[in-house]
Amino acid sequence: MIARFILAILLIAAAALPSNAAQPTVETIRIGIPGKLVDFAPFFVGIKTGIYRSEGLEPQFIVMRSGIVIPALLSGELDYTTIYGSTIRSAVTGLPLKVIATLIIKQSFFLFTQRDIRRVQDLKGKRIAISNFASSTDNSARTALKHHGLEAMRDVTLIAMGDTGVRFQALLSGAIEAAILTPPYTVMAEQKGLNNLVWLGDILGDVPSNGLSTTVKKLKENPDQVHRMLRASVRSMIYTREHKQEALPILMKEFPGMEKNTLAGTLDFYLQAMSPDGRVNEAVFQELIKEQRELMNVKAEVPLSQVADFGPLQRVVKELSAGK
């Protein structure tokens, strides 16, 4: 009887507690991305598996052009962005932004051609589709040609045709002889029998292309949130790599318009191109700073500490390695 009485009191006391007493606080964070891309698979997987929520975070992804992201970040409308080059370029010119982690560390540009073109030299007198001039696709085409002894706009014509889907369709229809493509269109091109002539990674080595960046203000005023954001992101990267079979059904729901084989092939590439833990070779990163300095005509030396703060990431990696 006494036991029943005590149990009843405990149940009443538990019912009287506020409903949110046992629930952890979840903080909404806003992340600017250039588009909903398979590159960002770990983020989508981390959200659906509850990894971000376990760190007290609820990410919201906002698709924005790179020209808008930086002002939005500086104004506080965004907390983080995955856009890499614009952040480095802005930090080089003195804006208070820092790269804090790297997601993709390998080049994702490929030169695809019609079936009858088997060597780069066979492109002489022909045309390569790029997105726009002075873009990454433009640089990739020029690099591939130069590496094989050809010069863009002298030996081979570059044609600005817009986004990857348009370039893929032009190549598929025979309207163009070659195009710079990225996954998933590279997977689709191989499925259609087009020729994968050059992977820029074989020429350029590691070229980081996206990651996480934030403001100096965020790093100073909310280091705990930055820490949790990095923990959740690195954990999500590790989970996606180690549990590809579990990740694929999640991504199929995120990308319903993509065939399963195409999505699987695209995921395979990005898992190979992904940093193991968000870190990047600092010598490679210094080269990116140098390129952006030259592009922006900045004469003064720019130390890595002006553009990146990898200290929080190093602490996260150490924690996770220790099983914390």
Residue 185: burial class (beta carbons within 10 Å; 0-12, 13-18, 19+): buried
**165 and 128 assigned to the same domain:** yes
Number of domains within the chain: 2
**220 and 309 assigned to the same domain:** yes
**148 and 245 assigned to the same domain:** no
User: Is the bond preceding 276 in cis, omega lying within 30 degrees of 0?
Assistant: no
Query: How many Cβ atoms from other residues are within 10 Å of residue 191's Cβ?
Result: 12
**174 and 116 assigned to the same domain:** yes
- List the pLDDT tens digit at each of the 324 positions of the chain: 444 433 343 333 444 444 444 456 999 999 999 889 999 999 999 999 999 999 999 999 999 887 899 999 999 999 999 998 889 999 999 999 999 999 999 989 999 999 999 999 999 999 999 998 877 788 889 999 999 999 999 999 999 998 899 999 999 999 999 999 999 999 999 999 999 999 998 898 888 989 999 999 999 999 999 999 999 999 999 999 999 999 999 999 999 999 999 999 999 999 999 999 999 999 999 998 998 898 889 999 999 999 999 999 999 999 999 998
**217 and 316 assigned to the same domain:** yes
Of the candidates 265, 65, 288, the one whose C-alpha atom is nearest the C-alpha of residue 163 is 65
**121 and 77 assigned to the same domain:** no
**96 and 119 assigned to the same domain:** no
Alpha-carbon Rg for the chain, nearest whole angstrom, is 23
Specify the CATH number for the domain of residue 151.
3.40.190.10
Q: pTM to 2 decimals? A: 0.84
Q: Which residue segment(s) compose the domain that 170 sits in?
A: 110-204
Residue where one domain finishes, among candidates 141, 174, 204: 204
Integer angstrom CA distances of residue 154 from 126, 135, 139, 145, 161:
10, 19, 15, 11, 19
- Please state whether beta strands 27-33 and 80-83 pair in parallel, antiparallel, or not at all (unpaired): parallel
Q: Is residue 80 part of a domain?
A: yes
**315 and 230 assigned to the same domain:** yes
